[in-house]
Structure 1
Amino acid sequence: MSGVRPVDEQAVRAMYEQHASALLAFVRRLSAGDRLLAEDIVQETLLRAWQKSGRVPIEQVRPWLFTTARRLVIDAHRRRSARPPEASADLPTTALGVESEVDMALDAALVTDALRSLSVQHRTVLIDYFYRRYTTTEIAADRGLPAGTVRSRVHYGLQALRLALQERGVDGP
């Protein structure tokens, strides 16, 4: 077998130890808590990573894993949606049915997961600013902070959120 590189088993084990638990938690959220499906998807993701070991740059492993897992969740949902109702009645499904709604739900799960990884200060300010639609002045008054501090936390919180989303395989604008 000339030309085929041997698989670095230590690197694959290290990748598993470093990323498997975060990947499982991420996939469980995307699959509405279905542990069996999540474990299957994580296993398939890690199998694909093993097959491609050495071809994915080390700094891109985590984004590659999360992107691959997200795509496998979407594929699993589409397979279940394509089956007649009586064939998949015993499978847990989301009641979305429309692909755009599935994509929106998956995007929301990704953003929620990324927000959880931020510091409390950044997360609370971003939630107030973007979800509650408070102005920086309102946030400052509500939280007892200087307005400049709020603006700074929004700025650096967005940077941290962008990085957290990239780690999960989401390309930013």
Structure 2
Amino acid sequence: MATITDPRPQQLDDLVAEHAAPVLSYVRTLVSDHHLAEDIVQETLIRAWRHHERLLTNEGSVRGWLLTVARNLAIDWLRSAANRHESLAGPDRDRAEPDHADAVVATAEATALLSRLSTEHQTVLLHTTMAGRTALETSRILGVPVGTIKSRQHYALNVLRKSRIRPER
């Protein structure tokens, strides 16, 4: 009994060896889930095997074809998940989202606390705490001695601490 050898398995092995890792890396950026990305790459390679004649004609880029197919599969999955009201479960998506109302309340409280400070103290905190500038940089910008900047910052932070708010330093 004669066996028929199909050149496709070796070509598929070569295709996987050359393109699977870059396609996986690309798909991971699209879906942010490693296991889903592996599934999409696997489906992409199955489609490449089914359409091997297109890939062997030397018309266009093999990797370009693979990336296009993978992108389309990822988009199809994301659209499908959105229609089912699902989300990807990953390190960035597996946590509760803060409520917008919490941010509004925090902003109102911060505004009320900052209103207790003079304009000079608010300005120093804006530069040092919010903009991340040093006392020397703030001093140069405001045209005030460094000692005055440090004193205003110290006073402003003490007022906020006494109000039970602990801004980051």
Which category describes the TM-score, using the shorter chain as reference length?
0.3 to 0.5
Q: With structure 2 as the length reference, what TM-score do the two structures score? A: 0.46
Q: Which has the larger radius of gyration?
A: 2
